[in-house]
Amino acid sequence: MARRIAAGAAYGGGSIGLLGAAAVGVVLAEVQLAKRSVGGGVAPVPPSADGRYGVALAGLAPPLRLGLLGDSTAAGQGVRRAGQTPGALLASGLAAVAERPVELRNVALPGAQSDDLERQVGQLLSDPVRTPDVCVIMIGANDVTHRMPATQSVRYLAAAVRRLRTAGAEVVVGTCPDLGTIEPVYQPLRWLARRVSRQLAAAQTIGVVEQGGRTVSLGDLLGPEFAANPREMFAVDNYHPSAEGYATAAMAVLPTLCAALGLWPESDRLDASRDEDILPVAKAAAEAASAAGTEVSGARAPWALLKHRRRRRIPPVPAAETAAPRPV
């Protein structure tokens, strides 16, 4: 299914239905129940984390430029402090590994779907002097909840990755999270949400790798934490991650972010003891979608590297590095 979606995105195919027509009535009823529970609170406006991180390393080397694109997850909706957002955590972690400052620019928009990536990429590339060295994209959840055709979703994402790669930036994509982990969602919607999310994540992986990017499957990465401690892992709206949830996701993305820049101590050599392999890209995408935290990157076409990089805890962001709010 992921291969069919990606092929439809590449060759202009139409929508490929992910749910049978017989299930529509049940799904719509479950959606209404879920809407009464999800979003019971109001998530705060994402704090701006734009600015320079690793300021103590200034003068050792020119700063790396990190761009963040995507939806509310990339923006950090659900937390109140800039240092708790994924952008700040990744910038701080990247600065520590690279031993040089990192300038963060976040253009993600809460509520965005993949069709907003064209605008976001244009915003990032508007100043050729500030072209990012590496970009992280987190997108897909709103495409599922707003029923955007999967082929369109992947087409928009692939086009964004292509533009960024053409501009010289490395690209890491955190694929569609598993919406079946949202606590108030009941069966059978939970099962359907998980199935659709994973299919989109796998198709996203195929599209991104074909454009020279890397992916990290977020999937049900937070599932065990959500199940064990949902009040800490979810924000007040019962939908967006809390500070602990964002830290867990950032820990999964950071190794791939650093590897894309040649900074991670682990090379792209495979470790058979951790079930790493070279697989056809569609098979690698499917396996990654079912195993959260898995990295997929391109090898010689049509093959891809499937890796499980060791994670390191991200150091807390010093208060002094928290940037002033960006102008609106």
Look at strands 295-298 and 214-216 and give their pairing. antiparallel
Collect contacts of 276-281 with beta carbons under 8 A, ≥24 apart: 276/305, 276/306, 276/307, 276/308, 277/306, 278/303, 278/304, 278/305, 278/306, 279/303, 279/304, 279/306, 280/304, 281/205, 281/206, 281/209, 281/210
Place of tokens 């406006």: 45
Q: Would you give the distance in Å from CA 62 to the centre of its chain? A: 27
Q: H or E segment at 102?
A: strand 102-106
Residue 64, both tokens: 């790396």
Residue 328, both tokens: 């609106």
Residue 239, both tokens: 């939908």
Q: Is the separation of the CB atoms in 208 and 174 below 8 Å?
A: no
Taking the C-alpha atoms of residue 71 and residue 107, their distance in angstroms, rounded to an integer, is: 9
What are the catalytic residues? Answer: 72, 237, 240
Within 13 Å, how many C-alpha atoms sit on residue 307's CB side? 25
Taking the C-alpha atoms of residue 246 and residue 209, their distance in angstroms, rounded to an integer, is: 24
